[in-house]
Chain A
């Protein structure tokens, strides 16, 4: 290993590849952020140039702030994302603990059933979900979205966490039992802290699709009071005229909260990905 890193040629090559990949991955994001600060003409005349004093125009942001209730949209998005995340992790971890810890009839069948959701997209059930929400009077509420996203996130969460929980030492759990800890305390105090890196991984993978989703907000909660940011940004995209300044500004703003959440989890995430690899 030390030989590979000590060769300057090899490390340059590796860095070149990684830098190239980073540029490709970040380019669209950069383009959006750059153009969101430019005047409409400048966006179309030279989309690739950064904003200069001549072309600088915050009109996009002022439009976003003035038109529509973007603060409310942000709040809705955050409530839905954080709420769903909380329930996904809580119920997912509990199910994973039961599957990995207890021997019962139909254990592996239950695990398979819960993992099946990874392969079947939840959107196939949209019509049924909508009927259910209408029947229970949950249309145009954030609760509807939280429920749907919780269901959407659970399969992957159960699958990943149950694998990780199998690696938690049995002796530790048994020591807790002998010391008289309840199964709940063993779960919350001993097991959960040890699978924290895995939980962060699950959190990131769960959070991003929820934040970016347009489908379910559009169908289940399109009212003004329950719009999410991605749905809110759609008001600037018209059939004939699109206010690109405002769309780009709204998208740039939408990156921020999710970026902050990601930074919170990322330290743990890296540990989760590399755990097991370096032991």
Chain B
């Protein structure tokens, strides 16, 4: 219980087509992350699944039932929002219980579910407080708790970590991962942050300009990107794209090589370049080089590498880990 099928969903706002025919299968218990640049339609797709936006065309099937005409409250979903969206006039307990109360759940049942959720998310000390008296991280936990008590078929997360600071983001990410393991529920998560996508997902859906670019497990996307967009979007720092003509290689328009698949040497290598800028992060070092053969490239070296701007270095790509793309941006194998 908790499968989702999306069939040829389209959404237009006036003349603007935001979703241009989306097809997707989500199995029961899967953690699926929608990722893509801003404006790619990922949040709109989530809203269509939730029923907050009507699809212009297509079907949304939850557990074998087409829910296109069903109001959000009856779809068996729960949603966690970026801005928490807690009811300001209700206490934490009432915030969590409102949905169940509306659905006519008996009071005793509501109490047990709230107790279970608040224990799971360690919210017990805050149950009598109002949202204004909580910190950002606590508010987001309440919002997650509000979703948990509904015991939905489908959890929907709309960039839930974007408003939290870096340290809290890591903690909450961990909590969401644990929550998924414990509840074994189907979760759909929207983010523009590829680190969240890579760390949380069973399956990543990369969206761009209203279309699905590729669907796959995180490491599949990293190792076998279907096209130039996915190759550039997954991985940080971004993959280097080099004009194939410049390197004198035929059969492709663009050659891609990830910064971590380049080796640097002071003595010899395929390409010669000058260091423009060096970022020393401790665990790794990012170098920005202006090379004669390949133009501007980024190199990621694991560990410490002492280099300064202006220095001349040699760089060699790992031939087994270079990608080739044709004129349409598709991967050539």
Contact = CB atoms under 8 A, between A and B. Distances in A.
A195 B103 CA distance: 28
Given A178-B73, A178-B77, A179-B102, 9 more contacts: A169-B85, A171-B81, A175-B81, A177-B72, A178-B52, A178-B99, A180-B72, A181-B98, A194-B88
Contacts of B98: 179, 181
B183 to A, nearest CB: 18
Nearest to B158: A171
B85 A180 contact: no
The 8 closest A-B pairs by CB, nearest first: A180-B73, A179-B99, A171-B85, A180-B102, A171-B81, A175-B85, A172-B85, A171-B83
22 contacts: A171-B83, A171-B158, A172-B85, A172-B87, A174-B52, A174-B72, A174-B81, A174-B85, A175-B86, A178-B50, A178-B77, A178-B79, A178-B99, A179-B99, A179-B102, A179-B146, A180-B72, A180-B103, A181-B98, A181-B102, A190-B87, A193-B88
B99 A180 contact: yes
Contacts of A123: none
Interface of A: 169, 171-172, 174-181, 189-190, 193-194
A236 B157 CA distance: 70
Given A179-B73, A193-B88, A171 B82 contact: yes
A194 to B, nearest CB: 7
Interface centre among B52, B74, B84, B103 (most CB of A within 10 A): B52
Contacts of A175: 79, 81, 85-87, 146
B103 to A, nearest CB: 6
A173 to B, nearest CB: 8
Interface string B304-331: 0000000000000000000000000000
B60 interface: no
A176 B51 CA distance: 13
B247 to A, nearest CB: 48
A178 B78 contact: yes
B86 to A, nearest CB: 8
Given A178-B99, A180-B99, A169 B52 contact: no
B72 A178 contact: yes
B15 interface: no
Nearest to B74: A180
A153 B99 CA distance: 37
A147 B82 CA distance: 44
Nearest to B99: A179
Interface string B114-125: 000000000000
Contacts of B158: 171
A194 B131 CA distance: 14
Contacts of B82: 171
A175 B71 CA distance: 13
A174 B85 CA distance: 8
Nearest to A169: B83
B182 interface: no
A73 B83 CA distance: 51
B89 interface: yes
A189 B95 CA distance: 13
Interface string B46-74: 01001110000000000000000001111
A178 B81 CA distance: 11
A190 B71 CA distance: 19
